Every structure is written in C-alpha cells, then in structure tokens.
Amino acid sequence: MSGPNGSGGGPCGACKFLRRKCVKGCIFAPYFDSDQGTTHFAAVHKVFGASNASKMLLRIPPHKRLDAVVTLCYEALARVRDPVYGCVGHIFTLQQQVVNLQAELAYIQARISTLHRLPLPPPPPPPPPPPQPPSLSSSNVQSSSGFVSSSNIMTHFDTSQSEEASTEMASFCNAVDQELEDGDLQSLARDYVSRCLNGVKFRPSTSQ
Amino acid sequence: MSSTRCAACKHLRRRCPSDCIFSPYFPSDNPQRFAYVHKIYGASNVAKILQDLPVNRQSEAADSLYYEAHCRIKDPIHGSVGIITLLYQQIYNAQTQLSKIQAEIAVLSANAQTESKYQQQVEHMPNFDANLLPQQKGVYDPSTWLYQNGL
C-alpha cells in the first residue's frame, strides 16, 4: 500500500479523493497510492472520516502505521459492503466455526477414548484337553459385545452433540466478549447467526 | 428541551429532539457506549450510517459499531481485525488437532481389526497336540524317537 510521499509524484490517493494539495509529510501519502489507494481511502473517509483517521494514525508509532491502515481499510470496506454488521459479521461466522470444530473435537476425543478402552484379546488358551470341534469361545462373544457397547456410547454422544455445541457457543461468546460486559452484544451475535445459519438455536446465556 | 437527553446529546451538549436518531441506541445510562463510537467514527458518520438503514436494522448496526469501536480503542493498531486473526489461528489449530486425532483413530481401528482377525484365526485352528497322534498312545520321547508306554 505504498504510494508517493506528496513531494513530486502527484497527490496521494487520499488527497486526490479530498481534492486538496498533497503536502510534504502528508500522513496518508505513504499508505494510499493514487490508484487503488483512492478507492480504499474513499471507504475510510465514509466510515471513519479523514480527520478521525488522521488522528488515529498520529497516535500510532510510525513503524506500526501500515498495519493500522490495512486494518482500517479492511473495516471500512467491510462496513461499506455490510452497513449493518461490518466485519463483526465475519467475526460471528468465525466464532461459529470455532465452536463447531471444538464440538467435533470433543466428539472425536470421546470416540478415541472409547477405542482405547476396548477389551484386550484374551491370553492364549492353556494346554488343551482332548481335541474338540471348533466353537465360539466366551472371549469372542465378549469382544463383539464390547464393540456394540462402544457404538451405543457414540450414539448417545451424537444426540447430545447439538446441545453441547449451543452451550459452547454461549460460553464462547461470553469468553470473547467478557470485557465488554454487554448482554446486547451476545444477543446481536445470536441474532446474526440465527439470521445467517438457519436451524441453529441457542441456549440462553446464564449471564443475562 | 427533552427532560432526559440520550447519551449522544449529553455528550454533544445539545438538545435531544423527539426524533433523535441516537436516542433509541445510546441511552443515557451508558455514556461509554456513545463516547467510544464518537471517538472512532464521529457523530455525523454514525448518524449517516444509521439513517441509511431500515429502522429494524439500526439497533444491530449500533451494536456492531460499538463493538468495533471498543476493539479499536483497546487495540488501536489492529482493532477488530485482531480478533479475526486470532479466530483464524484457533480454527487452524483445531483443524490440525482434528486431523491428528482422526489419524490416530484410523490406526486404532486398523489395529483392533487386526487383533480381531488374529483372534478368529487362532480359535479356528485345529487343536494339535504334538505328543499324541490319533493312532498313538503314550508320551513321545524325543531322545529315543519312541512313544513310551504306548508301543
């Protein structure tokens, strides 16, 4: 996102948009070139305003300003694209993905612990009595019932998975937003996800 | 002049009209909410954003603006994009862990099947006693290659 420094290469994207003289030392010049920079600055100007953007950049050390400009442009473009949620909608979508993955991990870990608990093969039979026709031993029956019981455990886990996912969503939202301590934000997250992901239901948060 | 000004009009030190665009979303009991939003976006930009939206979406927009403003004040460099980066990292970590565990399950399942097949093979093997052939009686003595007590 580098651009002219305003001294002789023409106005930067910001000054071009603002139709003003691009002075030497323009705060925006290093970050908004006269091509794509103009479009980006237009979004930043619409959402934050040039004055606010300038003040924010001046408060940041120069070696960190590029990162700040990138994130400001990202937020501004997201807000222009989605005036209601901006990039917060993306955050809610990612939070939902994390919750789904955590639920899947919990299910898989339960399954693997079940596999670890399967009964070991029985020890070799002792020196035998007179020959007998081959037949099913008691150990063979026990191992098949072990597989049956593990599948029952997995079935039980499946039915409770959706409840655990919704519980985890409420708790994850609480964990991420705990500093804000604003119940409206959690309801905003639930509204957004319910609007975008049909069929997802949430257990009410205990903090409200 | 309204007897109860909203947080925005109090902050801006102005009269709060009955149709104030801010008053439904910035109540006077939460002054921080408007202060953050005003610091990052400015009152006029917030008003423009809200006015361009249908009334039933304005509340959500106000909430999301407050969330972003709060994130930007807390982290002036990355803002809410910092949270997005963190979430992508968490997703990557969870997917990596999931892949590892799924591979472990595949190995355990394969081992369990191998054990089961081995067990079936052992049980179906004929019961062979090297010391007692069907036609012989007694005990085989390897030193003499003879069956004792059976000849």
Buried (b) or exposed (e) across B14-25, using 16+ Cβ within 10 A?
Answer: eebeeebbbbeb
> How many helices and strands, by DSSP H and E, does chain B display?
5, 2
- B120 vs A138, higher pLDDT: B120
| A94, A102, A151, A185: best to mutate for the B interface, most B CBs within 10 A | A94
A199 touching chain B per CB within 8 A: no
For the beta carbon of residue A141, count every other beta carbon within 10 angstroms: 10
pLDDT at B148: 64
CA distance B100 to A112: 11
- Would you tell me how many other CB atoms lie within 10 Å of the CB of residue A152? 11
Q: Chain B: nearest CA to A10, how far in angstroms?
A: 28
CA-nearest of A195, A10, A179 to A92 is A195
pLDDT tens profile B30-62? 999 999 999 999 999 999 999 999 999 999 999
Return the H-helix or E-strand segment holding B146.
strand B146-148
The verdict on A111 touching B (C-beta cutoff 8 Å) is yes
Residue A39: phi and psi, rounded to 5, are -65, -45
Q: Which single residue is written with the structure tokens 């400001």? A: A72
- Please name the member of B74, B112, B123 whose beta carbon is closest to the beta carbon of A134: B123
The answer for B 55-84 residues in CB contact with A (under 8 A) is: 57, 60-61, 63-68, 70, 72, 74, 76-84
Pair A114, A152: CB distance under 8 Å: no
Q: Is residue A3 within 8 Å of A37, Cβ to Cβ?
A: yes
pLDDT of residue A35: 87
| pLDDT for position A193 | 62
Chain A residues whose beta carbon lies within 8 Å of the beta carbon of residue B72: 56, 75
pLDDT band at A133 (very low <50, low <70, confident <90, very high): very low
The interface residues of chain A toward chain B in range 36-75, judged by CB-CB distance below 8 A, are 46-49, 51-52, 56, 59-60, 64, 67-68, 70-72, 74-75
Q: Measure B150 CA to nearest chain A CA, in Å.
A: 17
Q: What are phi and psi of A172, to 5 degrees?
A: -70, -45
8-state DSSP, A64: G
Closest CA to B62 of B33, B29, B32: B33
Residue A5 confidence class, pLDDT cut points 50, 70, 90: very low
A97 at B interface, C-beta within 8 A: yes
Q: Does B92 touch chain A (CB under 8 A)?
A: no
How far is residue A43's CA from residue A37's CA, in Å, rounded to a whole number? 10
Higher-pLDDT residue of A84 and A9 is: A84
> Is A67's CB within 8 Å of B41's CB?
no
Mean pLDDT of chain B: 86
Q: CA B36, B91, B59 angle in degrees (round to 5)? A: 30
Least confident of A99-113, B33-47, B101-115, B135-149: B135-149
Closest residue, chain B, to A86 (C-alpha): B64
pLDDT interval class at B116 (50, 70, 90)? confident
The string of pLDDT tens digits covering residues A88-118 is: 999 999 999 999 999 999 998 888 787 777 6
CA–CA dist B103, A177 (Å, integer) = 35
Q: How confident is the model at residue B122 (pLDDT cuts 50, 70, 90)?
A: confident
| Local confidence band at B140 (pLDDT 50, 70, 90 cut-offs) | low
Distance set, CA B50 to CA A161, A206, B14 (Å): 39, 31, 19
Q: For residues A8 and A26, give the distance between their C-alpha atoms in angstroms, rounded to a whole number.
A: 12
**pLDDT over 50 at A138, yes or no:** no
The share of chain A scoring above pLDDT 70, in percent, equals: 52
Mean pLDDT, range A28-49, rounded to an integer: 94
Contact, B34 vs B47, CB < 8 A?
no
The H or E element that residue B139 is part of is strand B139-141
Higher pLDDT among residues B79 and B1, named by residue = B79
Average pLDDT of A49-60? 95
Beta bridge partners of B140: B147
* Cβ partners under 8 Å of residue A67, min gap 6: B77, B78
Integer Cα distance of A82 and B67 in angstroms: 15
Token pair recorded at residue A100: 């789904």
Backbone angles phi, psi at A116, to 5 degrees: -65, -30
ipTM of the complex: 0.72
CA distances from A178 to A174, A175, A181, B74, B87 (A): 5, 5, 5, 13, 16
Q: Please state, for a pLDDT cut of 90, what percent of chain B lies above it.
A: 64
Q: What is the pLDDT of residue B137?
A: 58
* A-chain residues near B82 (CB < 8 A): 71
Tell me how close the Cα of B51 comes to any Cα of chain A, in angstroms: 11
What's residue B107's pLDDT? 87
Find where tokens 């120069």 sit: A62
Most confident of A56-60, A148-152, A200-204, B117-121: A56-60
Segment B104-118 mean pLDDT: 82
Residue showing tokens 């239901």: A201
Give the least confident one: A19-23, A35-39, A84-88, A194-198: A194-198
Count chain A–chain B contacts defined by CB atoms under 8 A.
148
Q: What percent of chain A has pLDDT over 90?
A: 44
